[in-house]
Amino acid sequence: MHSATVVIDPAFTVAPVRRGTFGTFVEHLGRCVYTGIYEPGHPTADADGFRGDVLALAREMGVSTVRYPGGNFVSGYNWEDGVGPVEDRPERLDLAWHSTETNAFGLHEFMAWTKAAGVEPMMAVNLGTRGLPEAIELLEYANQRRGSARAEQRRANGADEPFGISFWCLGNEMDGPWQLGHKTAREYGRLAAETARGMRQIFPDLTLVACGSSSSGMPTFGTWEREVLEECYDQVDLISAHAYYREQDGDLGSFLASAQDMDHFVATVAATADAVGAARKTSKRINISFDEWNVWYHEDESKLPKGEDWPVAPRLEEDVYTVADAVVVGNLLISLLRNSDRVHSASQAQLVNALAPIMTEPGGPAWRQTTFHPFALTSRYARGEVLRVAVDAPTYENKRFGSSVLVDAVATHDAATGDIAVFAVNRAVDAPTTLRVDLRGVGAVEVVEALTYAHDDVHWRATQEDAETVLPRANASATVGSDGVLTVELPAVSWSVLRLRGAAA
């Protein structure tokens, strides 16, 4: 049995809990769109062809924003192909995923889906094969009320009122040699700057995201951010970060500590952005959009098509996640919350089927993967202010990071209600950990609920046949003593949320 202590005081805050932390991502990749969110003729489909079972699960997950339409897909996408009568839309080859894009689902369908799901759209523009003119025309089509050619085209296509999209990504992963239209940092930075200037000449108050590094392991990481921001610092609001993690070669200890890399990523990008800002002698601060993150194995049974095979919506990247994967996802959410002062938006990639918390079968059911649960519960209970907690825990050795703490945690506090949520992971693989949460800075509290996600088989996976053997369970060990200290036993390789209630302000 291990032991650890977390100290919580509402006086030590990081930033408000940002709803944008709980975004996801819908890309035209594999079955994310077709037979994922969109399947006309499905027993649960509505009049627009949206799967009702997926909509219900997206709402249950507490999704706040959805990034669309890519991802690698956007770097070769002509947005005009996805508007107008569906029967007139062209089929295109999607070079990113070696597939055929039917364009049956496009901008109007996506905006209708976001309305049905109750989420904010985050639109990406193609800065791979296209540039400033096409971005401006898309913005005009989406947001101009009436009078201009593109606005009238939208109205003729059935949307009399503008879509009012305020959140825009300026391309995707332009640092990656795999990206269609890959550019150097200087080339991309200048293109992002001129695109941003043009878009702001129409709508000055947009939120614009420049492309940062596609992983902290890229050879250009750090240099890319500096050079891009030297070109477009004054024109953008956020710079993106992308990171994926997986268990490799049976090294569970390193995998469970993946949030250390995310913390390092955020700190490095923030420092680089601040250095550029300091050199410019500006008070403006560039923050971070962590708009792709997840566990991703690239080892599903389906393989990227090749040669003359250009299928429609093939099964691609359909990872089936384990309990350990869910614990890591919960820990990555802890990292995102802990860094809420700099991470203003995040998107778990992706929502359905492709490396996703929700799985579907064509014509059949939808179900929750293991990773669904920590996301849904964190989105539901993180409210108010993120607190800067002190963690005192033993360390363990692992191959990737050298040394990592056994317990990682963050807390949120809603002063209006007195609600406190503590999110904690136990990375120990050999034994439970007794966690003491020192609440003396909070005052008298009661335990409202304690939920833990864990299983003796950390590689258990949810399937269509069995998605409910392992669910978050009540943790009856959580008690608050007369000394104001909460004690709870955290099973090995587990994620937990502890809900407490104190006095309201």
Residue numbers annotated as active site = 173, 292
> Partners of 368 in the beta sheet?
358
Which residues touch 356 (CB under 8 Å, ≥6 apart)? 32, 36, 318, 350, 369
What DSSP character marks residue 87?
Answer: G
CA–centroid distance for 197 within its chain = 27
In whole angstroms, what is the distance from residue 66 CA to residue 55 CA?
A: 13
In whole angstroms, what is the distance from residue 416 CA to residue 419 CA?
A: 8
Which residues touch 293 (CB under 8 Å, ≥6 apart)? 241, 242, 243, 244, 262, 332, 336, 346, 347, 348, 349
Q: How many CA atoms lie within 13 A of 25 on its CB side?
A: 28
Phi-psi region of 164 (alpha: psi -120 to 50; beta: other; left: phi over 0): left
Which residues touch 311 (CB under 8 Å, ≥6 apart)? 99, 100, 305
Q: Crossing angle for the helix pair 52-61 and 372-381, nearest 10 degrees?
A: 50
* Single-letter amino acid code for the residue at 103: N
Report strand pairing: 207-210 vs 238-245.
Answer: parallel
> Partners of 2 in the beta sheet?
433
For tokens 């959009």, name the residue: 289
User: Strand (E) positions, 95-237?
Assistant: 99-101, 120-125, 167-170, 207-210
In whole angstroms, what is the distance from residue 289 CA to residue 31 CA?
A: 25
For tokens 């059949």, name the residue: 364
CA–centroid distance for 193 within its chain = 25
In whole angstroms, what is the distance from residue 401 CA to residue 61 CA?
A: 31
Whether omega for the bond prior to residue 491 falls within 30 degrees of 0, making it cis, is no
